[in-house]
Amino acid sequence: MSNPTQIWPADRARSYREKGYWRGETFPALLRQRAAAHPDRICLTSGTQNWSYAELHTRALRFGAGLVALGLQPGERILIQMGNVPEFFQAVFGAFAAGLVPVYALPAHRRAEVQHLAGKSQARAIVVQDKIDRFDHAQLALEVQAELDGLDHVIISGTAPEGTLALEDIQGDPACLPADPDPQSVAFLQISGGSTGLPKLIPRTHDDYIYSLRGSNALCGMDENSVYLAVLPNAHNFTMSSPGTFGTFYAGGRVVLCPTPLPQIAFGLSARENVTITGLVPPLALLWLDAAEKLQPDLSSLQILQVGGAKFLPEAARRVTPVLGCRLQQVFGMAEGLVCYTRAEDSDALVIGTQGRPICPDDEVLVLDDAGHPVPDGQPGNLLTRGPYTISAYHDDPSANARSFTEDGFYRTGDMVIRLPSGHLVVQGRSNDQINRNGEKISAEEVEDLLLSHPAVFDAVVVSIPDARLGERACAFIQPKEGQSTDASALRAHLRARDVAAFKIPDEIRMVTGFATTAVGKISRRQLRESLRASVLAEEAAAQ
Ligand code: OOB
């Protein structure tokens, strides 16, 4: 497993400890302490189920001990793919108790992603919910297991088919659990959106992640009366830590799990459960705004609506308080670390027009031109960052590390931003080829590769197009091989057969006879994507 000193060099680690950011807290200790301090307080509500802190803790210890009894060793990885169900937390905190390192897959991930994540992390076990939205994740887990050496255990929450273990049967004696882990060791592997290839693994330590929870809680006003509605997938970093579910547990508050992001359901839950804070991606926030105008729901308990994951445009941002009656908080974050928030004390102009400023005074932010020179405030540049909860290396990925981090440990975010003198950032877009569709990140290169594997495709270029509903949508341009032909539905079927997450299938597929080249040869894919994008935008403008 990665050595924490590779993630943070010793001098920075020392300074973060001295400054009190890293306090030696760990996830097993966190839940143990909360359960001891207020055992009967409810920490999780899902439908008619209410779990107290003591119940979650007991379930986690028993499950963790069951994992130890299966022979799993501290430091080994366990892949978790579950929806917004309470058992997600039983599995994650159980893994923590056993000293195991969870790897989080999203519910939308299919065979290509799950196999990659399990293989890359050398997972020894996989825990999945039997079905999410009618998709059979148990079957998928068995298929992945058949392909991978060392993936010894498939554990199912729900109905466990033959060859798998039922989560509820994995129980052991908590006395056999290991001692608490080193606070600077890796607690779990988050996954990156990324612009190249399949998701990369992001090693987050107990110390760094818990600092981000504490910092987020302070500036979101979280306390034991906070009720967080988890609408986006639990596995996503926004839902987990900004301040999200883990921040709520840290504060001793209550998490309410939303079975679907549909506004009608979420509004009802908010009123019934006295929800105080929730987080949405911009397309969902738009849906909520429109629905609230029609339905006039009771959202009187809701204090903060957080919007993040993709750019929330000022026209929409302006509607939040008048329509929903709560404060807007913009959140600009990344699973690699850095999270920016607008603050309660910020002017309306900052809350509506910026994506906030970093949690920590020691979050170092550089805004650089393409040659690596700093640009003045007010001008766009590439965002690089380093700080007490931002990684300086991906798990086991030297080539991604060489691309994504500078020698002195700054993460190249791939985002273009303008910094204001107040430190607030205004996100301008991506400097690399990633499509942010509905907050879900798609690598243009990965989809191009998949399209190129179709026998009739000579070349494929995938670009992002601004979209009123999704924020951005993916448009693929396809040049068929000479003498061959194919069409959009055949290509979509081809992608589906490759078992990739459905959000990666392009919204639009256009056939072309060829791509522009320069006199000296092929122009760069970056330039090609830019010119194709410009042609779609021009066409749309002409049609209006
Ligand atoms: C969050 O995390 P990821 O890892 O799925 O995606 C990170 C990327 C950022 O680099 C940026 O390109 C984009 O998502 N992004 C935003 C944004 N928030 C994220 N772009 C514009 N405006 C925003 N407000 O998406 C994430 C992690 C923690 C908290 C919130 C979001």
Beta-ladder partners of 257: 230
Regarding the beta carbon of 339 and ligand 1, being less than 6 Å apart is answered yes
Q: How would residue 519 be classed by pLDDT, with cut points 50, 70 and 90?
A: low
Write down the pLDDT at residue 63.
98
Segment 357-374 shows an average pLDDT of 97
Regarding the beta carbon of 276 and ligand 1, being less than 6 Å apart is answered no
pLDDT at 526 over 90: no
Which residue type sits at 397? D
pTM of the model: 0.94
List pLDDT tens digits, range 318-353.
Answer: 999 999 999 999 999 999 999 999 999 999 999 999
What percentage of the chain reaches a pLDDT higher than 70?
97
Q: How would residue 525 be classed by pLDDT, with cut points 50, 70 and 90?
A: confident
Q: Provide the token pair at 280.
A: 């949405």
Regarding the beta carbon of 83 and ligand 1, being less than 6 Å apart is answered no
Q: What share of the chain is helix, strand, coil (3-state, %, to 5)?
A: 35, 25, 40
| Residue 138: half-sphere exposure toward Cβ, Cα within 13 Å | 17
Q: How would residue 529 be classed by pLDDT, with cut points 50, 70 and 90?
A: confident
What single-letter DSSP state applies at residue 17? H
Segment 195-202 shows an average pLDDT of 86
**What gap in Å lies between CA 239 and CA 221, rounded to an integer?**
16
pLDDT at 18 over 60: yes
Write down the pLDDT at residue 167.
98
Write down the pLDDT at residue 431.
84
**Which residue puts its alpha carbon closest to atom 2 of ligand 1?**
334
Q: Are 201 and 394 spatial neighbours (Cβ–Cβ below 8 Å)?
A: yes
Regarding the beta carbon of 413 and ligand 1, being less than 6 Å apart is answered yes
Write down the pLDDT at residue 522.
57
List pLDDT tens digits, range 273-310.
Answer: 999 999 999 999 999 999 999 999 999 999 999 999 99
List pLDDT tens digits, range 107-123.
Answer: 999 999 999 999 999 99
Q: How would residue 432 be classed by pLDDT, with cut points 50, 70 and 90?
A: confident
Segment 440-452 shows an average pLDDT of 92
pLDDT at 524 over 80: no
Segment 514-543 shows an average pLDDT of 81
Closest among 341, 315, 319 to 425, alpha carbons compared: 341
What single-letter DSSP state applies at residue 374? B
Q: How would residue 3 be classed by pLDDT, with cut points 50, 70 and 90?
A: very low
For the chain, give the mean pLDDT: 95
Closest among 1, 5, 89, 8 to 411, alpha carbons compared: 8
Ligand 1 centroid – CA 340 distance (Å): 10
Residue 498 has φ and ψ, to the nearest 5°, of -80, 0
Ligand 1 centroid – CA 442 distance (Å): 12
List pLDDT tens digits, range 46-85.
Answer: 999 999 999 999 999 999 999 999 999 999 999 999 999 9
Question: How far is C-alpha 411 from the geometric centre of its chain's CA atoms?
Answer: 17
Ligand 1 centroid – CA 310 distance (Å): 6
Ligand 1 centroid – CA 308 distance (Å): 6
List pLDDT tens digits, range 204-263.
Answer: 999 999 999 999 999 999 999 999 999 999 999 999 999 999 999 999 999 999 999 999
The CB density around residue 428, as the number of other CB atoms within 10 Å, is 14
Segment 409-417 shows an average pLDDT of 96
List pLDDT tens digits, range 19-28.
Answer: 999 999 999 9
